[in-house]
Chains A and B, each alone.
Chain A
């Protein structure tokens, strides 16, 4: 290679993009050619000047969050369109919400009204494909997620070893207050646990009820009201509540 040909390749040489043979040839040329040596040094100096103060932009946190949320929606939509079960389930859930709404309008007892809300919330969480705000089977991820979002700290434990894995948590609205919803799963059955503070109330042992195909277990423990709701059978739901209240 002559001087002009080498001149053409100095950028590639400085960028370590040349094959070994050409690189060796240029290296030899640089020892005898002051101009080329200076040009190579300038290329490297420019690279250093460009990167010394980290001028690269970094993705803003809100954009990263938005993208992850949009991807999750997209993933759910594509999956739903492939599953006839999903379409059926959505239709059934729609009917249930409508039913729950009409039903709750006709209720007067406040205890029953809360139970109706619990069911409606449970169904809505499945319907809107909005089961969890924080998806994690790690109780140390789920519990701190609620910090600053509610004014109480819920107990969060994973029961995967007993067949009730923790799926995540979500904020919900119950009885006019912001409630914690923890989501567990038994085989294919989602279980919502709703938690609200019950200041001054004494402990109340779990009682079961059934409403429109859903089983509900409610109890009060250490000034907290709990509702467990699922389409799981009553025996298994009671077993799960026994784990929770241990």
Chain B
């Protein structure tokens, strides 16, 4: 009469999706830039993911979950901090030419954790997103394109510009 065993759907969700909770929190934390908002986003995104879990087709659970975390973050930012979302990145406007790194800005020492975190947080949100996914989570261009909802070419050019800016920021903190 009573179901005492755990729901099979929950069990599957715990196996498939919850291993990516660290990645989810990391992405949300860099997008939201504070602990409390990141926690709210990850909590809400986890519940949304569980409700939509039957739509998940079993391809790449990390990209699928991170996309929900990303969209939940952007929704929260648009609602609560719209001023941060005003930076619209027109890939053409910023030039098709991929900028090259300033050779004088070479990073010649290991950066400590706080410096690196602070440097990433200074980037515009579209850049924070690609840098976090690529450099900290080791996501492929295809995964990043899926999560951010942009073409792979856009991922490549954003990543190039994001790294260029990061290089400049980090070389100033030396």
Contacts and interface: CB of A to CB of B under 8 A. Distances in A.
B6 A17 contact: no
A19 to B, nearest CB: 12
A66 B43 contact: yes
B43 to A, nearest CB: 6
A201 interface: no
Contact of B166 (A46, A51, A183): A46
B160 A11 contact: yes
A102 interface: no
- In this complex, the interface size class of chain A, counting residues with CB under 8 Å from chain B, is 35 or more
B4 A49 contact: no
A59 B21 contact: yes
Contact of B42 (A59, A135, A185): A59
B24 interface: yes
A135 B106 CA distance: 54
Contact of A70 (B24, B46, B103, B117): B46
B150 interface: no
A42 B108 CA distance: 10
A47 B47 contact: no
Contacts of B43: 63, 66-67, 70
Contacts of B110: 49, 52-53
What does DSSP make chain A's interface, helix, strand, loop or mixed? helix
B47 A59 contact: no
What does DSSP make chain B's interface, helix, strand, loop or mixed? helix
Contact of A39 (B10, B18, B101): B101
Nearest to A54: B113
A58 B156 contact: no
B134 A15 contact: yes
Interface stretch (B56-64, B72-80, B82-90, B136-144): B136-144
Contacts of B14: 68, 71
A205 to B, nearest CB: 29
Given A46-B163, A54-B113, A59-B21, A167 B47 contact: no
Contact of B113 (A7, A55, A190): A55
A68 B19 CA distance: 12
Nearest to A11: B160
A71 B46 contact: yes
Interface string B107-124: 101111100110010000
A50 B103 contact: no
B55 interface: no
Interface of B: 1-4, 6-7, 9-10, 13-14, 18, 21-22, 24-26, 29-30, 35, 38-39, 42-43, 46-47, 50-51, 97-98, 100-101, 103, 106-107, 109-113, 116-117, 120, 131, 134-137, 140-141, 156, 159-160, 163, 166-167, 170
Given A15-B141, A42-B167, A55-B136, 20 more contacts: A11-B98, A17-B156, A43-B163, A46-B166, A50-B131, A50-B136, A53-B112, A53-B116, A55-B116, A63-B39, A63-B42, A63-B43, A68-B14, A70-B43, A71-B10, A71-B50, A72-B6, A74-B50, A85-B1, A188-B2
